[in-house]
């Protein structure tokens, strides 16, 4: 497996907005640990070019998605500074022209005030390390043609990350029961996805604990100041240039995005 060549192909697909065949077919990639090496190599290219990692995203946190891809645990990817969509007064704009085949998901974002390093990170450790939470719209986007992905394909492709927008940080989050936070995501004014905090492994903080422990096996950790997207609370919804998205989560300020062509 030529890890650097696979990373270069993903990088070119992203820059030129031209999807490629699944790496599981092109390279016979079938080892998730090797897929994470491809992801790391691609992210390394972007960081070397001046970008920086500002946090992590967790994917495949729902039982339905795990069963669809035949896996028993989530996956993760990096959040890049250049992929952050600024939000002002609850609103942001997305340059849809840099995306290939985007979809949106509603999530709970965590802002960490201290590092988390596995193994042995518990939900209580996550609580202690959490400074604030917020509603977040994650844009997922696959560099793999027609979303024809297996687990190794999405892992190598930085967990299909495409962008993210975070609403106002709520520092009184301890007053909320995250499992009971109801979510409605509207696309073009119509409810397109519903869910609740419990959809993410039973509790979003459990997802963050999983991530810290998984990173520990990779010799990495979550840092103070990191933003962590804890996993989708409902199905992903396709969007296109001209789409408007509004995410509402109980107890948190809403987030609205417009996709400009």
Q: Domain limits of the chain?
A: 53-150+157-260
Cα 144 to its chain centre, rounded Å, is 16
- Report pLDDT for 67: 73
The predicted-structure confidence for 49-100, as pLDDT tens digits, reads as follows 999 999 999 998 877 667 767 777 899 999 999 999 999 999 999 999 999 9
For residue 97, the surrounding DSSP H or E stretch is none
- Report pLDDT for 68: 67
Class of the domain covering 53-150+157-260: alpha beta
CA distance 109 to 99: 22
- How long a stretch of residues is the chain? 261
pTM for the whole thing?
0.96
- Checking if the pLDDT of 37 tops 70, the result is yes
- Report pLDDT for 64: 63
The predicted-structure confidence for 163-175, as pLDDT tens digits, reads as follows 999 999 999 999 9
Q: What is the mean pLDDT of residues 188-192?
A: 98
Instruction: Using the CB atoms, write b or e for 188-218: b if 16+ within 10 Å.
Output: eeeebbebbbbbbbebbbbbbbbbbbbbbee
- Report pLDDT for 186: 98
The overall average pLDDT reported for the chain is 96
Say if strands 91-95 and 252-260 run parallel, antiparallel, or are unpaired: parallel
């Amino acid at each position: 497996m030529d890890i650097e060549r696979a990373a270069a192909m993903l990088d070119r697909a992203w820059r030129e907005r031209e999807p490629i065949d699944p790496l599981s077919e092109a390279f016979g990639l079938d080892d998730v640990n090797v897929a994470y090496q491809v992801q790391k190599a691609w992210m390394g290219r972007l960081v070397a070019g001046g970008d920086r990692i500002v946090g992590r995203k967790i994917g495949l946190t729902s039982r339905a998605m795990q069963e669809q891809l035949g896996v028993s645990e989530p996956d993760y990817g990096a959040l890049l500074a250049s992929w952050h969509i600024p939000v002002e007064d609850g609103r942001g704009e997305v340059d849809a022209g840099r995306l290939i085949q985007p979809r949106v998901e509603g999530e709970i974002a965590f802002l960490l005030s201290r590092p988390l390093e596995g193994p042995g990170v518990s939900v209580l450790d996550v609580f202690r390390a959490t400074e604030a939470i917020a509603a977040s719209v994650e844009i997922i986007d696959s560099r793999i043609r027609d979303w024809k992905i297996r687990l190794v394909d999405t892992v190598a492709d930085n967990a299909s990350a495409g962008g993210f927008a975070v609403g106002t940080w709520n520092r009184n989050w301890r007053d909320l029961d995250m499992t009971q936070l109801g979510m409605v995501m509207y696309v073009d004014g119509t409810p397109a996805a519903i869910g609740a905090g419990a959809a993410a492994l039973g509790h979003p903080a459990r997802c963050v604990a999983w991530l810290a422990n998984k990173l520990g096996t990779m010799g990495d950790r979550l840092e103070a100041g990191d933003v962590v997207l804890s996993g989708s609370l409902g199905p992903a919804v396709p969007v296109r240039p001209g789409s408007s998205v509004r995410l509402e989560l109980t107890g948190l300020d809403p987030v609205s995005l417009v996709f400009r062509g």
